Structure 1
């Protein structure tokens, strides 16, 4: 958890991780020890921040893994968007593992055991999250008067 020595000029990974964990239900993550959990969460965050690769306002690759923070302060909406991008990575991971399971046990058996509805829900969630993130990033950029000036 965050400690008292956190500098308010930066956003710490923990803030983003909390926002992400509040958006998912996972039986797997609580089973991990602290080091494994930190690695998994960093992996989701690292992959998720790629959605900001064209974001002009801040460089989301500018972080300090040793101090577990970004080298800038994120807004609340940026933290929320990064948490959504982490969720997108989490959904993609689950979708891939379900598709591998379906291939491993065969379509007919998979349908009997699990059904295609779960994969359909994951695919729909993936598409929806991807659209929402892109839309929000575009809105953020176009509403930032420091970047574009007053657009009239």
Structure 2
């Protein structure tokens, strides 16, 4: 009896979606191994908000083959990519915050020209709101969860 092969989503699919949404010279300078390790760290952190996600278990992964043990929808790939972007923004915001504290407010503003910290905070809030809306739309539209109400 032939075993049915389940289609799986590779981490690379999520990475591509994430990378197409950011513009970073730091990422471009990394070698392949460093880039993959960094992307995995962000993907791993990006899964945390979805512990209670009802449709797919984002923690059910095959680390050897670098994939999820299920086929994610395009919306779920986009959701994880957006969550990775949120992690990237938080990292950038933290870096700016550290720089601000080390230079002092006046010197930081003079060196930077304008306040990146504020922009990253606004972007962080927007991403959190977008992710929450996407989760609601995806889960509400799933008939397995809501039956005929969807």
Q: TM-score, normalised by structure 1?
A: 0.92
Taking the aligned partners of 2:88 and 2:51, their CA distance within structure 1 comes to: 19
Could you tell me which residue of structure 1 aligns to residue 48 of structure 2?
50
What is the number of equivalent residue pairs in this alignment? 146
Query: 1:108 is matched with which residue: 106, 109, 116?
Result: 106
Could you tell me which residue of structure 1 aligns to residue 35 of structure 2?
37
8 Å contact kept, 2:9–2:68: yes
Within 5 A, what are the aligned runs for 1:10-25? 10-25=8-23
Q: CA deviation at 1:50?
A: 1.2
1:57-103 Cα shifts (integer Å, max 9, x gaps)? 11101111110000000000000010000000000000000000000
Taking the aligned partners of 1:95 and 1:115, their CA distance within structure 2 comes to: 16
In structure 1, stretches of 5+ residues that fail to align are 1-6
Q: CA deviation at 1:117?
A: 2.6
Within 5 A, what are the aligned runs for 1:92-131? 92-131=90-129
Asked if 1:90 corresponds to 2:75, the answer is no
Q: CA deviation at 1:146?
A: 1.3
1:17-38 Cα shifts (integer Å, max 9, x gaps)? 0000000000001111111111
Q: Secondary structure at the match of 2:8?
A: coil
After superposing on structure 2, the runs of 4+ consecutive aligned residues of structure 1 that deviate more than 2 Å are none
Q: CA deviation at 1:143?
A: 1.2
Taking the aligned partners of 1:82 and 1:51, their CA distance within structure 2 comes to: 10
8 Å contact kept, 2:6–2:70: no
In structure 2, stretches of 5+ residues that fail to align are none
How well do the aligned residues superpose, as a CA RMSD in angstroms?
1.3
